[in-house]
Structure 1
Amino acid sequence: MNANTVTGEFTFTDAPAHWADKADKSFSSLHQLSPYIGKLKPNIARELIVTYTQPGQLVVDPFCGSGTVPLEAILTGREVIASDSNPYAFVLTKAKLSPPASLTDALSQLEDVYEKSTGRSDESFISAPDWVRSFFHPDSFRELIKFADECLESRNWFLLSCLLGILHHQRPGFLSYPSSHLVPYLRDKKYPKSEFPEMYEYRALLPRMRAKLTRAFKSSTESPTSSCVVKKSSIEGLILPGMVDAIITSPPYMNALDYRRDNRLRLWILDRSTQDYFTEPTDKAKGLETMVSSLVNHALSSLKPGGIVILVVGETVIRKRTKTHPSRSYIDALLSTGIFRLISAIRDNIPDIRRSRKAGAATKAEHILVFQKIDDQDPSLSNLSQAGAAVAV
């Protein structure tokens, strides 16, 4: 049974118990194409989409990340515009929304791209920085970087995403020396070469990619028929049409996750200027303020009257000696316009299994906030309470 928690003027309902369930085989295996920190569970995304939107409506996710919301939206018959400034997010979302028609087609593409990659020069291999080389056997690295370059040149985002999905781990099906899967750190102390020599041997790309493609199509659904657009853009530079039905997104919140650092090896494959460590746009309060104001402006200018904004955002973040309240920032910004009302507020505890680091203390709970744009022609349109909490404003 759900319980209510009063926070400020708002009453939050605890997340339904079934949100903690693992996604079953009815969810596409494309969701597992490549790991991504802090991603939304597909069962939660689907429930929000089918509760607050209708088939054929236009759903926008301006911080699409791993593509969970766009994929669930398109699989449930919605039109989609997805965007993210992160190159990894862009490639991964493109791959999920436009996969090959079948496993047979994907395997055929693999053989063709791999054959072409063998004829490429060693330029990328030779110029790679030491911190990247340290993860791989030289022969494995030469093979994978040539394959990546061929995927980039041919814009084969699906094969490229599958490559990124097997880039690093200690398991035999991955390409690196023993390392963590989600965040790239070598695990040579736990698996020293003297005791585990087999983990430091050459790992061939082609058989591992074939196995990865087979897993990707294990429970994937038919190719989506709804239209989708994926853009590589910051929220500030994003251009949207004027008739959006819903904005459903999980925006970055200040100081909570290090998307760039924790994806640095995959990002280097996509952008060779990537450094071993660099700062996040949301490390500073100004970055968060810019994102909040840009999202509000898009909601004001592009969302239809009666349209929905759903935000999945951290409740409170305590990190790097700084305490922030990103949920409160978005609530205040949207309600201050006088054009939006908060019609549902849900609090969902984040278990350790969903953290990028098991002991991470950045944020312990997320808020799922559902706003509706006021329709002056139909004030009763905001009666959408079937999945939300009572809100005492």
Structure 2
Amino acid sequence: MGNNHSRAAATFVLNKAEPIHRWYPYLEGYSSRLVEDIVMEIGPENIHTILDPFGGSGTTPLVASSHGIKSLYCETNPFMQQVIEAKINSVKRLRDSRTGSRYLKEFLKELESIPDQLCIDTATWDGFEKYFDLEVLVQLQTLKMKVEKITDPDTRSIALILLASVTVRASKMIRQGDLRFAKANEKKPDDKNIFANFITKIKTAIEDIENDACHPRVETIRLAEDARDIVMENKIDCVITSPPYLNGTNYIRNTKLELKLTDHIVTEKDLPMFHSKGIIAGINNVSSRMAPFEVPEIIRPYIEKLIPVAYDKRIPIMVAGYFHDMKAVIERLSHAMKDSGYFIMDIGDSQFAGVHIPTHEILVKICESYGFQLYDDVILRERRSKNGMVLSQRLLKFRLHKKTSPYEVFRSEAQNFMRTLPYKSEPYSGRNWGHPWHSLCSYHGKMKPAIAHFLVEQFTEPGDTVVDPLCGVGTIPLEACLQNRIGIGNDLSELAFCVSKAKLEKPDETNCLQVLNALHSYITREKQSSTIEAQLEKYKSFGFNGKLPDYFHQDTFREILCARNYFAPRIKTLSSAEAMVFSCLLHILHGNRPYALSRNSHPLTPYAPTGEFVYKNVVEHIKEKLNASFQKGNFDHYKPGKALCGDYKELGTHNISADAIICSPPFADSMRFYMQNWMRLWLCGWEEADYREADNIFLDQKQRRNFDVYVPFFKMCASILNPNGKVILHLGKTETIDMAEELSKRASPYFVEVYRGTENVQKIEKYGIKDKGKTIEHQYLFLMKK
């Protein structure tokens, strides 16, 4: 790319013709072409994650998304957050759901049928009416009410942003550097035709949403509001950003009309609550900042020059505060970024009262102190200040060079994970957060998907092989697959294996329907057979919380027996499509909602049933669950994995080369999981004798006698891990058993303990389960292969 950037690419001008980018004009922004050039210079194949710590209107995340690159952003202005979310995530959801622009087209028809003249004598807007002619304000308020009635939330979000994009134009204001009242001849006659301008914007958006050449492919995620609050470690490949310039611009006041329109403020008195957020770049930030801060030594000479000549005593404080805050951002980026990561920054220098502040030179020195090495400095354009001083806009390009060993990096990541516990923050803390396939089949003792999500995201890389030797229903390896890793899950339980296979070896929906048709034919043929009659007699007295026949209408029970006979004898050799269909049946076997085949029970543990005996057609209920499963979920980065069924000691025979082992063994003093899942295990082929022998087979009971059972576990882990391979264990501590301590001792011949952390869970929600066991703390044990 070198020095071939055009002057226009350094501004937002080119975005005015770019699909989606053009929805909201952002004076302070740069063009998509600038970001595109940077991405192509580095190579999209070398970038898995891009961060923009000053998100603005979302140019960087949108370009990243169009390349299929995961993007994250920070942005303190809540309106600009809405712009980013609407342009990327709302568009992506509309396209993925095939809703597209349907609701926007319906809304357009409604707008085109509204009379041109709206007769209202007066209108108020909490003091903001002074910025509009009366007829314009009436139209604006009418349009907002119309937007709020759009039923589809993503279409509504987009329409609101489009309305905001024509609000300043329709007002008495103009945005040229700062937002101010327009002078004579600075407004065009058609600027105030807000209806026509809004309709034009909607037509543009419809065209863009339907344009296959420019659509977002990957969602963007807000990492934090303030870039100084970033807590991520070693995850970002590339940062492309333009920090606020040190020029006194009030970025909040510049969007006050949009902030009002989108209900983030009521009156102008609410604006100061946003001034104190983000880095100090303007005078108003200074007046809101009460806490003293240390002035970086590197800028003291400039402050000393400014103090006697500054026309406002806050200017030296603003300059000192700017570099203090930028230093904090750069320090956070040095943690969040990977070694050899790219940091590309668009920045301009400043002057105040004739004192030149070489922002780029100062930031280069700050960056160098945190391991960033400048490899290119491109002048994008030159500009002149009001006093005639020549200033420049530059593109600074850095590579990060960390002086840390794999052990130190791992330890830093572990410390950060335990300090932040990211799965406890919204939206991850929500009870139902996670990919819908995590709920493919209910399972007692399943790890919270958000925990698995962050363990995979923060401790592994795209393309890594992540193994869970005790995977249950595959929560950890599924998260690995969803994040472009190869997830491998192993479990001794046939129930766990079957559900994991469906998740990790994602079958084609058409193949699943073919399996379902074959099952239907088998049930139709066999449900009145002598074999089923004999099994009705055999199992009439079998069960634990209740007898099997007590749970089902007899005709439903016949069909369940047929399905058991169809799948169970060959469960370890089922295809992924057969595993998916059988997993759907396992899920609907019992529960407390209409989907369940049983009388009213519990979806996790089949407590004694209540209620009427009602016939439920097995195939029809499986089909409903199957259809629901394939209608939900984002598989943009899904990489197929593999499920295995067997003893973890045998994993070494499968020619696995693992980068990380992430696992949640049965907690100390845990309940008998096979008893909590007894009915589903029966459906998988268990007979009465299997329950009697289970204590001698399954780890949850064997470890009660002696934790030495983990010695072969760690030996196996060491045998399949690559050099510097990681083991991360999610454990449960009781009043009497420190599980992390016990396992760390058994791991010591093969692994070095890197870090250990705890989370108190004594007040954890029970979700209707009567007995949550004796766990008082969740423990995380981080190990590295010797």
Q: TM-score range by the shorter chain?
A: 0.7 to 0.9
| Counterparts of residues 44-59 of structure 1 (less than 5 Å) | 44-59=451-466
| Counterparts of residues 171-320 of structure 1 (less than 5 Å) | 171-188=593-610, 191=611, 199-222=612-635, 226-239=639-652, 240-241=654-655, 243-274=657-688, 278=692, 280=695, 281=698, 282-285=700-703, 289-316=707-734
Matched with 1:118 is: 524
1:29 to 417, 436, 441: 436
Residue 163 (1) aligns with residue 581 (2): no
User: Is 2:489–2:642's contact at 8 Å kept on the other side of the alignment?
Assistant: yes
Query: In 2, distance between residues paired with 1:42 and 1:309?
Result: 18
Give the letter for the 1:253 counterpart.
F
Matched with 2:312 is: none
User: Is 1:38–1:354's contact at 8 Å kept on the other side of the alignment?
Assistant: no
Q: Alignment length, in residue pairs?
A: 349
1:135-184 deviation digits (Å, cap 9, x = unpaired): 21111100122123223467311111100100012322211122122001
| Counterparts of residues 340-379 of structure 1 (less than 5 Å) | 340-343=752-755, 345-347=757-759, 349=761, 352-353=764-765, 357-374=769-786
Query: In 1, distance between residues paired with 2:760 and 2:512?
Result: 38
Task: Specify the SS of the correspondent of 1:179.
Answer: coil
Offset, 1:89:
0.6
2:447 to 24, 40, 53: 40
- Out of 269-278 and 47-56, give the one that drifted further: 269-278
1:20 to 414, 429, 437: 429
1:186-231 deviation digits (Å, cap 9, x = unpaired): 133xx4xxxxxxx312222233222211222232334976352221
> Per chain length, whose mean CA-contact separation is higher, i.e. which structure has more relative contact order (CA < 8 Å, sep 6+)?
1
| CA pair 47-181 structure 1, distance change in 2 beyond 3 A | same
Matched with 2:138 is: none
Offset, 1:67:
0.6
Give the letter for the 2:775 counterpart.
T
User: Is 2:504–2:640's contact at 8 Å kept on the other side of the alignment?
Assistant: no
- Out of 205-214 and 66-75, give the one that drifted further: 205-214
Task: Specify the SS of the correspondent of 1:20.
Answer: coil
Residue 332 (1) aligns with residue 745 (2): yes
Query: In 2, distance between residues paired with 1:314 and 1:298?
Result: 22
- Out of 144-153 and 293-302, give the one that drifted further: 144-153
User: Is 2:446–2:472's contact at 8 Å kept on the other side of the alignment?
Assistant: yes
| Counterparts of residues 134-153 of structure 1 (less than 5 Å) | 134-152=550-568
| Counterparts of residues 83-98 of structure 1 (less than 5 Å) | 83-98=490-505
Query: In 1, distance between residues paired with 2:632 and 2:638?
Result: 18
Query: In 1, distance between residues paired with 2:628 and 2:763?
Result: 26
Give the 4+ runs in structure 1 shifted more than 6 A.
none
Offset, 1:338:
6.7
Bigger CA radius of gyration: 2
1:71-103 deviation digits (Å, cap 9, x = unpaired): 11111111232111111111110111223323x
User: Is 1:100–1:106's contact at 8 Å kept on the other side of the alignment?
Assistant: yes
Task: Specify the SS of the correspondent of 1:170.
Answer: coil
Task: Specify the SS of the correspondent of 1:238.
Answer: helix
User: Is 1:254–1:283's contact at 8 Å kept on the other side of the alignment?
Assistant: no
Query: In 1, distance between residues paired with 2:754 and 2:649?
Result: 24
Matched with 2:211 is: none
Give the letter for the 1:54 counterpart.
E
Residue 128 (1) aligns with residue 549 (2): no
Give the letter for the 1:128 counterpart.
Y
Query: In 1, distance between residues paired with 2:668 and 2:768?
Result: 16
Query: In 1, distance between residues paired with 2:530 and 2:634?
Result: 38
Offset, 1:358:
4.1
- Out of 166-175 and 119-128, give the one that drifted further: 119-128
1:66 to 473, 477, 486: 473
User: Is 1:53–1:246's contact at 8 Å kept on the other side of the alignment?
Assistant: yes
Offset, 1:265:
0.5
**Percent identity for Structure 1 against Structure 2:** 28
Give the letter for the 2:564 counterpart.
A
Query: In 1, distance between residues paired with 2:514 and 2:691?
Result: 37
Task: Specify the SS of the correspondent of 1:178.
Answer: coil
Runs (5+) with no aligned partner, structure 1: 3-9, 192-198, 375-393
| CA pair 69-251 structure 1, distance change in 2 beyond 3 A | same
- Out of 59-68 and 294-303, give the one that drifted further: 294-303
Offset, 1:277:
5.5
Task: Specify the SS of the correspondent of 2:754.
Answer: strand
| CA pair 57-360 structure 1, distance change in 2 beyond 3 A | closer
| CA pair 224-118 structure 1, distance change in 2 beyond 3 A | farther
- Out of 354-363 and 258-267, give the one that drifted further: 354-363
1:77 to 465, 471, 484: 484
Query: In 2, distance between residues paired with 1:287 and 1:58?
Result: 33
Task: Specify the SS of the correspondent of 2:648.
Answer: coil
User: Is 1:29–1:215's contact at 8 Å kept on the other side of the alignment?
Assistant: no
Provide the aligned C-alpha RMSD in A: 2.9
1:25-71 deviation digits (Å, cap 9, x = unpaired): xx431111111112112222111111111111111100010111111
Task: Specify the SS of the correspondent of 2:639.
Answer: coil
Query: In 1, distance between residues paired with 2:644 and 2:523?
Result: 27
Query: In 2, distance between residues paired with 1:364 and 1:211?
Result: 39
Query: In 2, distance between residues paired with 1:76 and 1:338?
Result: 28
Which of the pair is proportionally richer in helix? 2
Runs (5+) with no aligned partner, structure 2: 1-228, 232-413, 542-546
Offset, 1:288:
5.0
Give the letter for the 2:620 counterpart.
P
Give the letter for the 1:249 counterpart.
C
